[in-house]
Amino acid sequence: MKYLKPWWSDGGGLLHLTILLSLAGLRLDVDLDLYLLLPPPTLLWDELLLAGGRTSSAYALSPFPASGGWGRADQLHPKGREPDPEAEPEGRLLREVCALGVPFIPRTRVDAWLVHSVAAGEADGAHGLLGAAAAASSAGGVGASVDDSSQAAPGDGGDPRAAASSPLAAGEEEKAPAEPTAQVLDAGGRANQENEVLRERHEAVDHSSQNVENEQRVSAQEKSLPQKNEDESKIADKPDWEAEKTTEPRNERSLNGTETAFSLEDLFQMLSSQPENSLEGISLGNTFTGSINYGINSTHNVNFSQAISHDVNLHEAMLLCPDNTFRREPVARTSPQESFLQLNSHTTTPEQTLPGTNLTGFLPLVGSQMRNVTSQDLLHDLDINIFDDISLMSLATEGFDPMEVSHLFEKPDSDSGLSLNSSHNSTSVTKSNSSRSVCEGGAGCSSDLESLSHHDLEGAVGGYYPEPSKLCHMDHRSDSGFCGDLAFQHIYHNHTYHLQPSALESTSGSFSWHGKSQKISKYLNDTDRNLSRDERRAKALHIPFSVDEIVRMPVDSFNNMLSRHYLTDLQVSLIRDIRRRGKNKVAAQNCRKRKLDIILNLEDDLCNLQAKKEILKRERAQYNKAINTMKQKLHDLYHDIFSRLRDDDGRPVNPNQYVLQCSQDGSVLIVPKELATSGHKKENRKGKRK
DNA sequence: AGCCTCTGTCATATG
DNA sequence: GCCATATGACAGAGG
């Protein structure tokens, strides 16, 4: 088996391949999506076929070089192998797949287009376009390895990745072609290099009158970095229904596509100069019949990315970065949920899977529209499509597995993932940073799966949360923008959500690197285990909203959301259950908090009352003591008086026989006790009668 | 192993 | 009567 080592990330490539081959036994059409659309640079055709149960000649395809493009590995990787004159990777791949008897379901524009092209015997066209972008990227050298830098042709337009990501890149390369364009950076050194690159771009632009505007733009970009981060953080901290308002201004970046010096038209011309990568082979007439505007002077201002995004809006949810949100249409901008819905409709409505209807996103490629489309738009949207297709693939791969759903619903554990601590606060900046570090790790070096933070996988149920947009944005800003490495994160994200561990286990054993598969499987299991029950349920039913979103959404927004989106009864029921449980959970937490407060208050009251009781006891004792003192004094006085009293005979008066009685007029009388008691009784009777 | 605490969930009460 | 919230009770997880 021949092996074409991926040139920038062995770990990432293997990971992708692991997933790919793990899926091979299940749905090869899904694999094709992966194979054709995923960013990992080099895929092993042999291994893919081996996964499908047959062998084939070694054939490496690099569908998506680092800079984002399509092409054969032999074109992109000079050390890979000799170019195959019959190289039609996509067409050959399809033929191989067809030979395997596996139905190929074109679910994406790219593969649908591919199928269409192959069916029309024009796989060259497919390859042409796909390879064109790849060649464009390889020509710049960033997408290729360092070894490729020698092959890169600066005169061909430079690195579209760098050019697309920065307005200065193109001009800079003209000024300093000797600067290595290949940036195989590790995660740690990337930040410093970003700053250095920015500084160098400044210097380069200072001497270029052509790039004054670009310089200003970059300066503004640099100055606005903290503010951008701040704005993003603010926006990210808000729920989607709140962030809708704040994201609007960010979409104001024009559709003119003038922010980069490297336009798609340049790319087109550049590619046309390379026969092998030219677009001539594209059977546009067959593929895009009746939909293409070839007019060079056409005033059609349709953005290519817009067209794609219009069709598949999951990108906007997943890549809601300011650098690309301006491409969002107002309708699609309303909320990520709508994007989710459109994704669902994309998968459920059959007509959207048809090539004829699904390929409209490519139409603006041809013609003057390309003037307004930057290469970054093209490549980025291709990349976005990848994420979309990954999600679609994951949907298709997992489907509505009743066993899984029932299993999830039967699971006794309870953890809806809602906590007062809000550990699932997916909008935190730290999460963004951590995710980005993962992304960088995936691109620059072998990524250790187990070191990945679980936060990287949280967010929207089913991996539809728009959080990664911020990551993409950061990468755009930092390292020439293309999110090829980011795609790895999305691979992790989506596949960890949707892959069945059993599927991984069943297929991983067939390959020598099944250890990595096990690693991935363990990672996926851990990830799934960390999901709450409701999150897993929602994932299983492909609820296009995060649990947190469902719970925290206001009633009106919630009802509006349910009415706006097409959801099955089961989904609606689950969403309502999630909301009910989430609300009740919060209510229970509040209730316990209140109860605790009440208990604490009662304890305080008890302490206060006990203190008062002690005080009263002391007062009572004092009063009793005073009373006793008074009694003693009265007793002493009584005996003192009787000791001085004498009767008529001069004898002392016996105090046991007489008592002192005070009359109402103040006189004191000595009366016998019998009379005193009888008199008291009579007075009491009189008093009672009165 | 038993106990305790915390937490989620359900059923029911309350406003 | 419906809905959101509050609360008691129960069960599971973890220390």
Residue A612 has pLDDT above 90, yes or no: yes
**In this prediction, what percent of chain A has a pLDDT beyond 70?**
23
Predicted local distance difference test score (pLDDT) of residue A618: 97
Same domain, A189 and A318: yes
Residue A626 lies in a domain: no
Q: In what order do the strands lie in the sheet with A60-62?
A: A43-44, A60-62, A71-72
> Looking at A36-45, A247-256, A490-499, A646-655, which range is the least confident one?
A490-499
User: Between the CA of A447 and the C1' of B14, what is the distance in angstroms?
Assistant: 55
Measured from the CB, is A601 under 7 Å from any atom of strand C? no
Examine residue A568 and state whether it is found in any structural domain, yes or no: no
Is the shortest CB-to-strand distance from A531 to strand B under 7 Å? no
pLDDT of residue A690: 60
Are A664 and A518 members of one domain?
no
Print the domain residue range for A144: 10-253+261-275+301-399+425-458+466-531
DSSP states along A496-548: HHH--HHHHHHHHTTSTTHHHHHHHHHHHHHHHHHS-HHHHHHHHTT-SS-HH
Between the CA of A588 and the C1' of B7, what is the distance in angstroms? 9
What's the pLDDT score for residue A654? Answer: 85
With residues binned 3-state (H G I as helix, E B as strand, rest as coil), the percentages for chain A, rounded to 5, are 65, 5, 30
Q: pLDDT grade, residue A530 (50/70/90)?
A: low
Top-ranked range on mean pLDDT: pick from A23-27, A88-92, A533-537 = A533-537
Proportion of chain A above pLDDT 90, given as a percent: 4
pLDDT at A27 over 80: no
pLDDT of residue A1: 31
Structure confidence at residue A609 (pLDDT): 92
Cα Rg for chain A, rounded, in angstroms?
41
Q: How confident is the model at residue A196 (pLDDT cuts 50, 70, 90)?
A: very low
With a cut of 50, say whether residue A288 has pLDDT above it: no
The answer on A160 and A38 residing in a single domain is: yes
Give me chain A's average pLDDT, please.
49
d(CA A433, CA A439): 10
User: Based on the domain organization, do A526 and A658 belong to the same domain?
Assistant: no
CA of A415 to C1' of C14 (A): 14
Query: Is 60 exceeded by the pLDDT of residue A562?
Result: yes
Predicted local distance difference test score (pLDDT) of residue A605: 87
CA A413 → C1' C15, Å?
18
Q: Which of A501, A531, A561 is the last residue of a domain?
A: A531
User: Is A546 a domain residue?
Assistant: no
A590 touches strand C (CB under 7 A): yes
pLDDT band for A548, please (50, 70, 90 cuts): confident
Q: Is the CB of A589 under 7 A from strand C?
A: no
Identify whether residues A650 and A506 lie together within a single domain. no
Residues A523, A666, single domain; the answer is no
Tokens 């009572």 appear where? A620
Position A92 scores a pLDDT of: 52
Any domain includes A235: yes
Q: Check whether residue A513 and residue A661 sit in a common domain.
A: no
Most confident residue range from A23-37, A102-116, A316-330: A102-116
- Spanning CA of A584 to C1' of B14, the rounded length in angstroms is 15
Q: Specify the higher pLDDT residue, A615 or A644.
A: A615
* Sequence-distant (≥ 6) Cβ neighbours of residue A484 within 8 angstroms: A39, A64, A65, A66, A67, A68, A143, A383, A443
What Å distances lie between residue A434 and A15, A344, A440, A616, CA to CA?
19, 29, 10, 63
pLDDT of residue A623: 98
| Residue A534 contacts strand B, CB under 7 A | yes
Nucleotide C10 C1' to residue A588 CA (A): 14
For residue A586, being part of any structural domain is answered with no
Characterize the bridge pairing of strands A43-44 and A60-62.
Answer: antiparallel
Query: Does residue A526 share a domain with residue A650?
Result: no
> Which whole number is the average pLDDT over A229-248?
42
Examine residue A476 and state whether it is found in any structural domain, yes or no: yes
Query: Which positions 417-476 on chain A have a beta carbon less than 7 angstroms from any atom of strand B?
Result: 418-419
Range with the largest mean pLDDT of A8-17, A19-28, A521-530: A521-530
Q: Where does a domain end: A491, A513, A531?
A: A531
Q: Considering A531, A547, A573, which residue would you say is the last residue of a domain? A: A531
Is there a domain that residue A416 lies in?
Answer: no
Give CA angle at A387 (A578, A152), nearest 5°. Answer: 160
**Do A16 and A488 touch, CB atoms closer than 8 A?**
yes
pLDDT value of position A611: 96
Would residue A576 count as lying in a domain? no
Does residue A617 carry a pLDDT above 90?
Answer: yes
Domain count for chain A: 2
